Amino acid sequence: MKLSPRVSWFLTAFGVWSWFIWITFVKNLWQDGSGLAFDDAGDPTGYFWVHLLLAVASFVLGTVVGLIGLRGVRANRSRA
């Protein structure tokens, strides 16, 4: 399968965006002071675990998509 340069760059940018967004989200989740992520004793709640799982899954998928885009960018450069 050949990816166009435009699609390759889009996928690469999506991967970079995913890293930025989900790392920031996990930092904010970890520092949550609203009482949603941690109970009064400081233990993680169900909200914390569900959102951490969503963030990790999205981070992994974003990384895979970004790597596919990067491979497309490299392939397009070698063809040119």
pLDDT string in tens for the chain (80-residue length): 789 999 999 999 999 999 999 999 999 999 998 889 999 999 999 999 999 999 999 999 999 999 999 999 999 998 87
- The predicted model scores a pTM of 0.83
Q: State the pLDDT at residue 33.
A: 83
Six token digits for residue 41: 């004793």
Q: At what angle do helices 5-30 and 46-79 cross, to 10 degrees?
A: 160
49 phi/psi in degrees, rounded to 5: -65, -40
Helix, strand or coil, per DSSP, at residue 62: helix
